[in-house]
């Protein structure tokens, strides 16, 4: 089995690769696949760090280039891929700063990738990383589900909706077997903050656990659905394994999530940290971040995801303990 991960040098991309390597194969349509022989990680540049041992595994190949360059995308397909995890994306805040770049990478890049997969003629499993930022606007209900109307208020969200629709249509046409993973806010990401509007949510845990202060740019009452990175990674892989008929005509699935707010996240950190010295939280509003976050879903109904067997953490405190175990201790 050959696997391609775009955005493979990113945090989630690396952890998806690590999980696949550890498993050795996937359970495709309820049956064990052939052993994983090669995982190609593509990204636009080398990351600040690689997870220990990842690049030492003989099954890992890396490739760096611009996914909005059709020639580069086609050059990656010098072999056939059985599973493609499409994680590469310009994130929310960056997309608001640079509309043209978001369209080039998130929209044109997706099309080039989907066409290259289509040209393989091997009905590859394709998992597209979407986002709950695909929802928003005046029509958004208090609690949304997979069947709520999509009226996003960010360029990033718009490109995710288009990607979801392309996944549905390419699958309907039989070009490949696709599904979209609508991700809630992922916690806790290690490393430095990125340009995602939700980046502060990981910082809320990460910086205090390192004894550093963290600026919170929204009110403590700001609501948001969140999920731990272990469940995100396992959920993305699980979506590749589920038989196509389980999805029906809509291949986009919102991953399970905790409906919470900033204050509850800060309280969970203190509970999980125990006797650790924590850096302080500094409440300082950023109007741009507030505007973006206020347009996102506040609560989600993920009954469908749970019926499909997608994993969920036992508690927010457990997510924090997992991060401490994986990245601090």
Q: Which of 96, 214, 114 is nearest to 169 (CA)?
A: 114
Query: Which of 112, 156, 170, 229 is labelled catalytic?
Result: 156
Closest to 322 in 3D by CA, of 204, 131, 189, 212: 189
Q: 153, 96 in Cβ contact below 8 A?
A: no
Tell me which residue of 156, 147, 115, 116 sits closest to 252, measured CA to CA: 147
DSSP-based three-state secondary structure for 129: strand
The sign of the dihedral angle between the CA atoms of 199, 204, 209, 215 is positive
User: Half-sphere exposure of 210 toward its Cβ, with a 13 Å CA cutoff?
Assistant: 16
Let me know if 72 is a catalytic residue.
no
- Rg (Cα) of the chain, in Å, rounded? 19
What is the pairing mode between strands 27-28 and 38-43? unpaired
Q: Is 137 left (phi over 0), alpha (psi -120 to 50) or beta?
A: left
Residue 129 near residue 236, CB atoms below 8 Å = yes
152 and 158 Cβ atoms separated by less than 8 Å: yes
d(CA 89, CA 98): 13
User: CA 311, CA 53: separation in Å to the nearest integer?
Assistant: 26
Residues with a catalytic annotation lie at 156
């Amino acid at each position: 089995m050959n696997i391609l991960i775009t955005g493979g040098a990113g945090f989630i991309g690396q952890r998806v690769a690590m999980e696949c390597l550890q498993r050795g194969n996937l359970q495709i349509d309820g049956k064990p696949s052939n052993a994983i022989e090669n995982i190609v990680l593509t990204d636009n540049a080398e990351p600040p760090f690689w997870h220990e041992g990842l690049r030492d595994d003989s099954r890992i190949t890396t490739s760096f280039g611009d996914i909005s360059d059709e020639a580069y995308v086609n050059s990656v397909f010098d072999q056939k891929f059985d599973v493609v995890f499409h994680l590469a994306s310009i994130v929310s805040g960056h997309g608001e700063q640079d509309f043209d770049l978001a369209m080039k990478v998130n929209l044109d890049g997706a099309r080039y990738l989907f066409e290259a997969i289509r040209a393989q003629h091997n009905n590859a499993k394709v998992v597209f990383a979407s986002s709950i930022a695909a929802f928003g606007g005046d029509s958004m209900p208090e609690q949304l589900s997979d069947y709520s109307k999509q009226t996003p208020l960010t360029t990033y969200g718009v490109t995710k909706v288009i990607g979801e629709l392309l996944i549905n249509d390419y699958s309907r046409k039989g070009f490949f077997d696709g599904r979209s993973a609508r991700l809630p806010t992922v916690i806790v990401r290690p490393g430095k903050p990125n340009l995602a509007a939700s980046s502060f949510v990981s910082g809320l845990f990460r910086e205090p656990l390192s004894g550093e202060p963290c600026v919170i740019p929204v009110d403590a009452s700001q609501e948001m659905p969140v999920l731990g990175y272990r469940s995100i990674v396992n959920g993305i892989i699980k979506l590749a394994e589920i038989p196509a008929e389980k999805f029906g005509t809509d291949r986009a699935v919102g991953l399970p999530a905790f409906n919470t707010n900033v204050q509850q996240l800060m309280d969970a950190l203190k509970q999980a940290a125990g006797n650790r010295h924590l850096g302080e939280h500094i409440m300082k509003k950023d109007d741009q971040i507030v505007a973006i976050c206020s347009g996102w879903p506040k609560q989600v109904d993920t009954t469908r995801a749970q019926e499909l067997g997608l994993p969920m953490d036992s508690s927010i405190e457990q997510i924090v303990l997992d991060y401490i175990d994986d990245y601090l201790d």
